Amino acid sequence: MAGETEPVDLTGAPYVHGPAEATPLRRPDSVRRTLSVDSTWPDGRGGPTVVVARARDLHTRRDGRGEVLADDTLRASLAPDRTIEKIATDAERPGVARIGDLVGARGGGRLRDALATAMPAEVAAGTPLHLLVDDLAGASLVAGFAFSEWTEDWMRPPGDNERTARRMEGICTGFQPGSRALNADGTGRAAHRMRAVAPLPRPDDPSGWHELPADRPVVSARRARRMDLWLAGEDVLVDAFFQDSAIRPQGGRIAVHEYRVEARIERATGNIAAVVADPRVLPYLECPLAVLTVDRIVGTPATALRQTVLDRLRGTAGCTHLNDVLRALAEVPLLARALSSSGSG
């Protein structure tokens, strides 16, 4: 029919390879950054989102011993429209004194502007706390999927049946015009290709993750990240993992997003020499197409990635969540300093 958008051509599209089986063991003389952002709704759908988050940097010495480089926590309460109502941290550095200025900011791109204004020293230092606040934007956007396992009408706004569903067309690769993820009016379909996932910590490496909140039989979402980096000749090699998961009523977890990204960064220039993204779990058939554009950041300074990714992989050129993984590579040169000065361990 004239005027209709042709379906996206999926010929040669990357495959979703399924969830990772286990967290890799830590390498000698490596740095691992782990992060978790857990969201719950004590007052039920329509109530505030209560966030408990933690991020840790761990240097594994050459003899295998672990040394904590940094360990930050964050607690927040967000209104249904993702506006921050309360926010606090256990960190006592001078740079976090104005964290309360973030109250009133809304989860989304502008939250990052507010973060840069309230805590510029944390942003410049690439601290775990900076990443936790930055991740409130993406984590709060997707957390509501946790209700998909607990109620059939989870995409309907609670308590407001007349409210118009958000138009999603054009916001990312998965929702590009012609995507099978879209309804005719441009809103998103509820059919997700979610997968059951295993626990992230491994019993034979109890220090491989910071302590995660215990799973309880309540609606709960978790964004989890892991980034390992180590030296190889004149380069820094990176293995990054990203997952959005939720508790199931019958127990265990189910994921809606999971990526693994490998990158190589030149030590002499600080530039991205190579990057490959591996789609593991994604909700729609078109989503994996986002991995085909990640090479647009090759040749750019790693430290500039928080803005470069937004400039080069905006809208249908990228995936919001994969972009979050790529943006976090900006802190690799800072974290790699622990390796350069580690000596014999």
For 292-319, what is the mean pLDDT?
96
Average of per-residue pLDDT across 226-254 = 97
DSSP letters, 88-147, are E-S---GGGTTGGGGTT-BSSHHHHHHHHHH-HHHHHHT-HHHHHHHHHHHHHHHGGGGG
pLDDT tens, position by position, 280-303: 999 999 999 999 999 999 999 999
> Is residue 101 scored above 70 in pLDDT?
yes
Q: Within the chain, where are the H helices? A: 109-118, 120-125, 128-142, 305-312, 320-327, 332-335, 337-340
Beta bridge partners of 275: 263
Q: Which of 139, 108, 107, 132 is nearest to 40 (CA)?
A: 139
Mean pLDDT of 27-39: 98
User: For residue 226, which amino acid is it?
Assistant: R
Least confident of 14-18, 31-35, 50-54: 14-18
Higher pLDDT, 7 or 229: 229
Please give the C-alpha separations between residue 213 and each of 93, 201, 220, in angstroms, as whole numbers: 25, 12, 11
Domain extents for the chain?
30-157+167-340
The 10s digit of each residue's pLDDT in 37-79 is 999 999 999 999 999 999 999 999 999 999 999 999 999 999 9
Q: Is the pLDDT of residue 162 over 50?
A: no
Write out the H or E segment, with its range, that includes residue 10: none
Q: How much of the chain exceeds pLDDT 70, in percent? A: 93
Residues 317-321: what's their mean pLDDT? 95
Q: Check pLDDT > 90 for residue 146.
A: yes
Map tokens 């003899």 to a residue: 63
Unique residue bearing structure tokens 């996206």: 8
- Between 14 and 345, residue with greater pLDDT: 14
**Which pLDDT belongs to residue 160?**
54
Q: Which residues of 32-41 are buried (b: 16+ CB within 10 A; e: fewer)?
A: bbbbbbbbbb
The average confidence (pLDDT) of the chain is 92
Q: Residue 21: what pLDDT?
A: 85
Residue 151 corresponds to which tokens in the numbers above?
């109620």
pLDDT for the residue 159: 58
Residue 59 in contact with residue 69, Cβ under 8 Å?
yes
153, pLDDT greater than 80: no
- Would you say residue 343 has pLDDT above 50? no
Between 155 and 172, the more confident residue is: 172
Going by pLDDT thresholds of 50, 70 and 90, the confidence category of residue 2 is very low
pLDDT value, residue 91: 95
